[in-house]
């Protein structure tokens, strides 16, 4: 704990409210994107979960691809907000079906949304949801949107390891 003592001079006595200043130590704990090991070592992790955020660009790549972070890139804030919105819309529309993160790749004005989908819906409904998502997102974001999904049989196929 870091404790800053006010100098004990005469002013300390005169002004009683100027006494001590407590400050706790900086909490350097990083928790996001890291998973605890279970006693039985039976927590399933995907490849994405198995690699903490500091392995981005080393062992895994980004979930959003665009040019905003390049030198003089434009619309960084708008793009981030749109990406969050797309992520929420996709996970909500394809409820309980996404087995991976929502991958958003931007190519000029085209937005490609990719990801792994569980085969938990009839193909007919999946086709509907693809058209529905594309149409609504294209209307909101004012640019063509493409859904390029890959289906997997169940969520277990994406398990990379157990911890």
Regarding 116 and contact with other proteins (CB under 8 A), the answer is yes
Of the candidate spans 9-17, 23-31, 99-107, 126-134, the one that interacts with other proteins by CB under 8 A turns out to be: 99-107
Helix (H) or strand (E) holding 155: none
Select from 88, 135, 140, 156 the one that contacts other proteins (CB under 8 A): 156
Closest CA to 113 of 152, 94, 86, 76: 86
Supply 82's token pair: 């749109």
Q: Which of residues 58-97 bind other proteins (CB under 8 A)?
A: 58-63, 65-68, 72-75, 79, 96
Q: Which of residues 29-48 bind other proteins (CB under 8 A)?
A: 44, 46-48
- How many C-alpha atoms does 7 have within 13 Å on its Cβ side? 3
Tokens 């907000």 belong to: 81
Regarding 109 and contact with other proteins (CB under 8 A), the answer is yes
The CA distances from residue 67 to 53, 54, 96, 140, in Å, are 20, 21, 30, 21
Instruction: Enumerate binding residues for other proteins (CB under 8 A).
Output: 44, 46-48, 51, 55, 58-63, 65-68, 72-75, 79, 96, 99-101, 103, 105-109, 112, 114-116, 118-123, 141-143, 148, 150-158, 160
């Amino acid at each position: 704990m870091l404790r800053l003592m006010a100098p004990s001079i005469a002013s300390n006595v005169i002004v009683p409210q100027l006494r001590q200043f407590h400050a706790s130590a900086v909490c350097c704990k990083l928790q996001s994107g890291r998973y605890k090991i279970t006693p039985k070592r039976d927590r399933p992790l995907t490849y994405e979960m198995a690699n903490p955020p500091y392995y981005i660009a080393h062992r895994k790549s980004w979930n959003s691809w665009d040019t905003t972070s390049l030198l003089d890139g434009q619309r960084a804030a708008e793009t981030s907000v749109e990406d969050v919105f797309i992520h929420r819309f996709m996970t909500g529309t394809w409820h309980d079906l996404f087995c991976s993160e929502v991958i958003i790749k931007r190519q000029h004005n085209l937005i490609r949304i990719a990801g792994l989908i569980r085969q938990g819906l009839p193909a007919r409904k999946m086709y509907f949801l693809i058209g529905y998502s594309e149409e609504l997102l294209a209307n909101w974001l004012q640019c063509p949107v493409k859904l390029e999904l890959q289906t997997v049989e169940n969520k277990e196929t994406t398990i990379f390891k157990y911890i």
